[in-house]
Structure 1
C-alpha cells in the first residue's frame, strides 16, 4: 500500500492554457485538492518558485486548502531555504499546521536554479552561490530547532501583555510538525545528511548522476543509503520516503491527442547539467501509454519499491477537470496493476 499524491508547479500562462493568471492558478489549486481528496488521492503537494509565473508563496495556499478539506496531506516539494527566514517560516508553518489540523508535510531544500540571478538578494540576503549549500543547510537546522518548541527568548521586563515566568518561544507551536519536515535530496550525500538530522526524504525526477546505472537504480540506492543512515542515527520515529514520477495513462482520445506522442517516442532517462552545477544530473523518464503497459514498467521501478509515497507531477495548465481525470485513471487503472493498491 503506497500513498499517492500529486505535485503541482502551479504554472499560469496566456497562450494555450486553461490557467491564465495567478488568481486562476491559486484558486484552481484549492479546487484540485478538494476534488482529489474526494477520489481518494492521499496528498496535494506544491512546488515553490520565486520570480516566476508559478506558485511562490505556499503557506496561504496550504492553509486555504486545509480549511476546505479534512483528510488529504498538504505539502510542498520544495521550499527553497535560500530565501527563507527560519523564524518567520516557523511561525507561518506552525499556524498553517494548526489550521490544517496537523496535515502539513513540508518539503525544504537547497532549491533549483531560479528565474533571476541571485534572487535571494532581493529578499534581503547577501551571499554568493558558493555559500548556498551551507546557508541552506544551516537555515534548515535552525528551522528544525525552532519547531521543537523550546523556550529561548529573554522576556521583556515590561511586556505589553501579561505572561508567565521564564523564556518565550515562537507561537503558535504545532506539536508533531517537526516530524513532518522533508529534505529534498539530490545525492546520496544529502540523503544521508537528511537522515542524520531526522528529516523525511523527498527525491524527485532528477538526481545527481553518480553512476552509469539507470535513473531508478541510482535513486533506489539513494533511498537505501538514507534508510541505513536513519537506523544508525537512532531517531525515535519512523521516517518516510517519497519519489516523484511523470505518469500519463492514455485511456481516452483526448489523452492520445495530448500525450500519445510520448508513448510513441523512446522515453528514456536523460543526462544533462543544471545551471551552477558542476556535476551532471540524470532525469527520469516519462511513463506514458496504455495503463497495463506503464503499470508493468512502474512495478519494476526500484526506487518506487523503496518509497512509501509516490507523487505524480500533473499538467496543471490543463485545468482541474482534466487533472482529476488523470489522477483517477492512475488510481483505478494503474495503481492496482502496479501493486500499490
Structure 2
C-alpha cells in the first residue's frame, strides 16, 4: 500500500518490483469482453497524488469524457483499508456509496491478490471493479471511447505513430516512471545507484530528443507526453528529495523544465495536478522512507507558470483538434494544490 498506485508495488529485502494489474478487463466499443463503452455507466476512481492515475485524469480531460465517465477523487492518504473517500460528505463516494475503493475490488473478487490500486474503473450498476490496468486504461479511452469524445478531441494514439510511441513509452516507463520508484524504495546502495543512474541517463536522452522538437513523437501531444509529464511534474516536489533522485532538479535542466512547463500550461495537464495531494501522499504514506511523516514546505511552485518559449519549436498541441474547455465544475484543484 502506498506505492503510489498504478499496479501494486512490492518492496522489501529484494529489489523493488511493480506487479502487473490483476484486473485487466477492457471496456471496448464492441463490448467483446463483456464491458461495452456506455455513457454514464462507469466511474473512474483516482488519486490526484498518483502519477499512474494522473494519466487517466489528463486523458479524460483532453478527450472531453467528463460527461461520459464520472470521476471519484480519493483522499491522498490511505489507511490500511485502502484508498478512502473521506473528501466526500459522510466519507462515502456519492455515486458508488462506498467508503473504501477496496469495497469495489471485493465486490468483483473476494480475497483478490495484489492490493488495491488506482486508477480503477468501476461499473456503477453492480458496484464491481472492471479494471485497474493503468497501462491500458488511457489507451482504450483514446481508441475505444471515440464515439463519446468531445468535438475537436486530439488523437493521442495515432495509428501511424504507434510503433514509435510504444517504444518511447516503454523506455520512459522502465527508466523514469518506474525508475524513480526503484531508486526510492531501494534497500541497498548498489540497487539504489543503478536505479538512480538509469533515471538520469534516460532523462538526458529525452532532453536531447526534446531539444529540437516540441513533443516526444510527431508534432502533437500523444500518450507518450502524458506518461512522461506525470513523472516530471512530481520530480522536484517528491522524487528529488523523497526518492533521492537528486543528481539535479528538473528546474536545473533547461530543456526538460521548459517542456514540462509547456505541458503544465496546456489545458488538461496542469489543471489536473494537485501538488498538496502529491506531497502529502508520498511523505505521509511512505513511512519506511519518511518515518516522521513531515511534509516539506517547498519547493516554490511559482516557476510552473513562467514563460517556456517552446512554441518557438512549432508543433500543434492538439493537431487538427482544439483545446478542452474549462475544468468541469466541482473538479477544480483547490487553491492549496496549485502554484
Q: TM-score range by the shorter chain?
A: 0.3 to 0.5
TM norm structure 2: 0.32
TM-score computed with the length of structure 1 as normaliser: 0.32
More strand by share: 1
Name which one, 1 or 2, has greater alpha-carbon Rg.
Answer: 1
